[in-house]
């Protein structure tokens, strides 16, 4: 934690300015995408690792490693240059099976918040969350709960006393999920720490629904799913009819890959802007720095030291995006949360990234310029933060 009220105030001012020039700079840059030979709206086209300059022997080694160690991987799908070059299903899984993607849902929610901003349904990420829910009686305003903003929910800096393994089942079992979250005690003032908080992301889904006048699912269908061809999914809903913002989506791997491919193409799809490119860029940069090349953006995990970012879900549901090498990789699995939860990262880094023919190479300067600006400011004022309950 920062020392002293003056330092806290200075951090809030600087961090808010950083967010204001990133999350809501939607009119600065026009959305652009890579030139593509086709778009997989209807169906993915297939290619071979060799044609897309990937070493098939490394990918075969990955399959052998999974089989030899009896890893609980259900599927791996790799897209390079817009083509599926590797698709393998294990343990009786099959392409049409909808996987519970757990916290990968959060990255979808982030995208929908960005769309709602761009479409004018939400005015500003600095809107106070409690003001959006006047119908909810809140009995414990402490530690600046009234100052929690949408941006706090996006960056896991709201300050709610939340631990996933304890509070998530309590939230799901509550009579009113939104009221349960808003009435949680606070353990720190907004912006002070990072604390992984699935409850806060459910509030984002409720905000989308209230702002748009439709359910989050209907909003997603109109603005995200239908335009890019996501068709095979379902989504769990709470007692008030709000679709869960932090978990709850079931989806097939190829549709998960479509979502990653949309981000790989800077939010545009077949000439149409789906998510503004500024939102894509700024939510996939490390706003929170964990050290060692790892950080957190706007509901995306960022491995800036290795040039990729990821949507991560419990038990090893992953969407990896590697802009430098035009790669999207999807992993579905059923690992224990405490035993082998990071196996997908090992498989991705050890085999998939290593399969790129030739050296992986240096990450371009363009990738780092905005990242360095944000991280430099944050590290200077955030060195003594604590990271509580880092889960997904």
Q: Tell whether the model's pLDDT for residue 101 goes beyond 90.
A: yes
pLDDT score for 341: 58
pLDDT score for 375: 42
pLDDT, one tens digit per residue, over 374-389 is 444 444 433 333 333 3
Above pLDDT 70, what percent of the chain? 81
Q: Tell whether the model's pLDDT for residue 299 goes beyond 80.
A: yes
Higher pLDDT, 336 or 291: 291
Nearest to 335 by CA among 86, 94, 69, 68: 69
Mean pLDDT of 79-104: 95
Mean pLDDT of 219-242: 98
What angle is formed at CA 317 by the lines to CA 75 and CA 211, rounded to 5 degrees?
130
pLDDT score for 35: 84
pLDDT score for 342: 75
**Of 4-18, 182-196, 247-261, 338-352, where does mean pLDDT reach its minimum?**
4-18
Q: Tell whether the model's pLDDT for residue 129 goes beyond 50.
A: yes
Q: Tell whether the model's pLDDT for residue 211 goes beyond 50.
A: yes
pLDDT score for 338: 63
pLDDT score for 336: 78
Q: Are 90 and 66 in contact (CB under 8 A)?
A: yes
**Of 17-21, 53-57, 335-339, where does mean pLDDT reach its minimum?**
17-21
**Of 24-33, 87-96, 265-274, 285-294, where does mean pLDDT reach its minimum?**
24-33
Q: Are 258 and 40 in contact (CB under 8 A)?
A: yes
pLDDT score for 18: 46
Q: Tell whether the model's pLDDT for residue 20 goes beyond 60.
A: no
The span from the CA of 92 to the CA of 330, in Å, is: 17
CATH number of 5-385: 3.40.710.10
pLDDT score for 92: 87
Q: Tell whether the model's pLDDT for residue 118 goes beyond 50.
A: yes
**311 three-state secondary structure:** strand
pLDDT score for 389: 36
pLDDT, one tens digit per residue, over 307-363 is 999 999 999 999 999 999 999 999 999 987 665 557 899 999 999 999 999 434 444
Place of tokens 């957190």: 296
Domain residue ranges in the chain: 5-385
Stated as kind and residue range, the H or E segment containing 100 is strand 99-100
The span from the CA of 249 to the CA of 245, in Å, is: 9
Mean of all residue pLDDT scores within the chain: 86
Stated as kind and residue range, the H or E segment containing 309 is strand 308-313
Higher pLDDT, 231 or 382: 231
Q: Tell whether the model's pLDDT for residue 119 goes beyond 60.
A: yes
**Chain-centre distance of CA 79, in angstroms?**
19
pLDDT score for 193: 96
Mean pLDDT of 229-238: 98
């Amino acid at each position: 934690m920062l020392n002293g009220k003056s330092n806290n105030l200075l951090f809030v001012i600087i961090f808010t300015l950083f967010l204001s020039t990133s999350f809501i700079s939607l009119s600065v840059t026009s959305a652009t995408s890579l030139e593509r030979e086709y778009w997989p709206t209807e169906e993915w086209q297939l290619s071979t690792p060799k044609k897309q300059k990937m070493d098939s022997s490394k990918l075969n080694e990955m399959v052998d490693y999974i089989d030899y160690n009896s890893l609980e991987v259900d599927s791996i799908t790799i897209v390079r240059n817009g083509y599926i070059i590797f698709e393998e299903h294990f343990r009786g899984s099959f392409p049409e099976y909808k996987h519970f993607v757990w916290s990968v849902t959060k990255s979808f929610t982030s995208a929908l918040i960005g769309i709602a901003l761009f479409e004018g349904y939400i005015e500003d990420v600095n809107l106070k969350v409690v003001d959006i829910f006047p119908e909810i009686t809140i009995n414990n305003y402490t530690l600046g709960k009234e100052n929690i903003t949408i941006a706090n929910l996006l960056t896991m800096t709201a300050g709610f006393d939340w631990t996933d393994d304890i509070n998530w089942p309590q939230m799901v079992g509550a009579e009113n999920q939104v009221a349960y979250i808003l009435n949680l005690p606070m353990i720190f003032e907004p912006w002070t720490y990072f604390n992984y908080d699935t409850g806060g992301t459910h509030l984002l889904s409720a905000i989308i629904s209230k702002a748009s006048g439709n359910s989050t699912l209907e909003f997603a269908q109109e603005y995200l799913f239908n335009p890019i061809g996501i068709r095979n999914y379902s989504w769990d809903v709470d007692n008030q009819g709000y679709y869960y913002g932090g978990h709850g989506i079931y989806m097939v791997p190829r549709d998960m890959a479509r979502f990653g491919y949309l981000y790989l193409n800077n939010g545009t799809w077949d000439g149409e802007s789906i998510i503004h490119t500024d939102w894509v860029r700024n939510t996939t940069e490390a706003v929170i720095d964990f050290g060692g090349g790892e950080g957190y953006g706007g509901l995306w995990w960022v491995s800036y030291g290795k040039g990729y970012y990821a949507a991560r879900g419990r038990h090893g549901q992953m969407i990896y995006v590697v802009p430098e090498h035009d790669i999207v990789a999807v992993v579905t699995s059923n690992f224990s949360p405490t035993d082998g939860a990071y196996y997908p990262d090992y498989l991705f880094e050890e085999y998939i990234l290593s399969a790129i023919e030739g050296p992986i190479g240096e990450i371009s300067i363009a990738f780092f310029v905005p990242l360095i600006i944000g991280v430099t400011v944050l590290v200077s004022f955030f060195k003594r933060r604590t990271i509580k309950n880092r889960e997904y």
